[in-house]
Amino acid sequence: MARSQGRAWGQTARPCAFGQLTPPVARPLLATMPRVLVLLAHPVLERSRVNRRLLSAISDLESVTVHDLYEAYPTLSIDIAREQALLVEHDVIVFQHPFYWYSVPAILKEWQDLVLEHGWAYGAGGTKLRGKLTLNAISTGGPAQAYRKEGYNRFTVRELLAPWEQTANLCGLRYLAPYVVHAALKVTGESDIVTPRDGYRRLVTALRDDQIDLERAARAENLADEIDAVLAPREVA
Amino acid sequence: MTDSVLAMAFVYLLAAVICVPVAKRLGLGAVLGYLVAGVLIGPWVLGFVGHEHHSVGHFAEFGVVMMLFLVGLELRPALLWQMRKPIFGLGGAQVVGTAVVVGAAALALGVHWKPALAVGLIFACSSTAIVLSTLAERGLLKTQGGQASFAVLLFQDIAVIPILAVFPLLAMVPAVLSPDAAAAAGDSRPGWQTGLMLFGAVAGVIAIGRFIVRPVFQFLAAVKVRESFTAAALLIVVGIALLMQQVGLSPALGTFLAGVVLADSEYRHELETDIEPFKGLLLGLFFISIGAQIDFGLIASEPAMIGGMVLATMTGKLVVLWSLGRVFGLDRPSRWLLAFSLAQIGEFAFVLLQFGMTERVFTAEFTAPLVAAVALSMGITPLLFVVLERVVLPRLADPGREARPHDEIATDAETPVVIAGYGRFGQMVGRILRANRIPLTILDLDPEMVELVGKIGVKVYYGDASRVDLLHAAGCEHAKLFVLAVDDKEEATKIVENVRHHFPHLTILARARDRQHYWELRKLGCAQVFRETFGSAYEAGIAALIKVGFRSYTAHRLAKRWRDHEEQTLEELGKHWGTKDYFARARMAMEEAERLMRHEDPTVYVERDAAWDNESLRADRKVDAAAIDAERS
Ligand SMILES: Cc1cc2nc3c(=O)[nH]c(=O)nc-3n(C[C@H](O)[C@H](O)[C@H](O)COP(=O)(O)O)c2cc1C
Domain annotation covers residue A10? no
Q: CA-based Rg of chain B, rounded to a whole angstrom? A: 33
Residue A201 Cα, ligand 1 centroid: separation in angstroms?
22
* Average pLDDT per 10 consecutive residues for chain B, totaling 633 residues: 71 85 78 83 79 63 80 79 88 93 91 90 89 84 86 86 78 52 49 77 85 82 79 87 81 83 81 83 82 82 89 93 91 90 87 80 85 85 86 68 65 80 94 92 86 83 85 89 93 93 95 92 94 95 95 92 89 85 86 74 55 70 75 74
> Is A143 a pocket residue for ligand 1 (Cβ < 6 Å)?
no
Task: Please give the single-letter amino acid code of residue A53.
Answer: R
A159 pLDDT more than 70? yes
Looking at chain B, the domain(s) classified CATH 1.20.1530.20 span 2-393
Q: What pLDDT does residue A122 have? A: 96
Residue A108 Cα, ligand 1 centroid: separation in angstroms?
15
Asked if the Cβ–Cβ distance from B549 to A16 is below 8 Å, we say yes
Q: How far is A230 from chain B (nearest CA, A)?
A: 29
Q: Ligand 1 atom 18: the closest Cα is on which residue?
A: A141
Q: Which fold has domain B2-393?
A: Na+/H+ antiporter like fold (1.20.1530)
Q: What phi, psi does A45 have (nearest 5°)?
A: -60, -30
- Are β-strands A133-139 and A64-68 bridged in parallel, bridged antiparallel, or unpaired? unpaired
Q: How far apart are CA B101 and CA B321, in angstroms?
A: 12
A235 pLDDT more than 60? no
Residues 6+ apart with CB under 8 A from B401: B445, B464
A60 pLDDT more than 60? yes
Q: How far is CA B253 from CA B99, B201, B243, B250, in A?
A: 21, 11, 11, 5
Structural domains counted in chain A: 1
Asked whether A51 and A43 are in contact (CB, 8 A), the reply is no
Asked whether B68 and B244 are in contact (CB, 8 A), the reply is no
Q: What pLDDT does residue B454 have? A: 83
Domain annotation covers residue A8? no
Q: Is the ipTM of this complex over 0.85?
A: no
Q: How far apart are CA B480 and CA B237, in angstroms?
A: 61
Nearest CA in chain B to A12: B547
> Is A142 a pocket residue for ligand 1 (Cβ < 6 Å)?
yes
Nearest CA in chain A to B550: A14
Q: How far apart are CA B514 and CA B533, in angstroms?
A: 9
Domain annotation covers residue A57? yes
Question: Which of B553, B605, B617 has its CB closest to that of A152?
Answer: B617
Q: What pLDDT does residue B175 have? A: 41
Range B400-483+498-509 classified under CATH 3.40.50.1220: no
> Is A184 a pocket residue for ligand 1 (Cβ < 6 Å)?
yes
Residue A113 Cα, ligand 1 centroid: separation in angstroms?
22
Q: How far is B71 from chain A (nearest CA, A)?
A: 43
Looking at chain B, the domain(s) classified CATH 3.40.50.720 span 400-483+498-509
The answer to whether the pTM exceeds 0.95 is no
Q: What is the CATH number of the domain that holds A158?
A: 3.40.50.360
Quickly state the pLDDT bin for A142 (edges 50, 70, 90). Answer: very high
Asked if the Cβ–Cβ distance from B551 to A145 is below 8 Å, we say no
> Is A101 a pocket residue for ligand 1 (Cβ < 6 Å)?
yes
Q: How far apart are CA B52 and CA B465, in angstroms?
A: 58
Compute the mean pLDDT over every residue in chain A, rounded to the nearest whole number: 87
Crossing angle between the packed helical segments B515-523 and B552-574, to the nearest 10 degrees: 60
Question: Which of B546, B603, B610 has its CB closest to that of A185?
Answer: B610
- Are β-strands A179-181 and B440-444 bridged in parallel, bridged antiparallel, or unpaired? unpaired
Q: Report helix, strand or coil for A13.
A: coil
Q: How far apart are CA B316 and CA B378, in angstroms?
A: 15
Domain annotation covers residue A58? yes
What is the residue range of A169's domain? 36-231
In A57-172 the beta strands, taken as DSSP E runs, fall at 64-68, 92-98, 133-139
A237 pLDDT more than 70? no
Q: What pLDDT does residue A202 have? A: 97
Q: How far apart are CA B154 and CA B254, in angstroms?
A: 12
Domain annotation covers residue A5? no
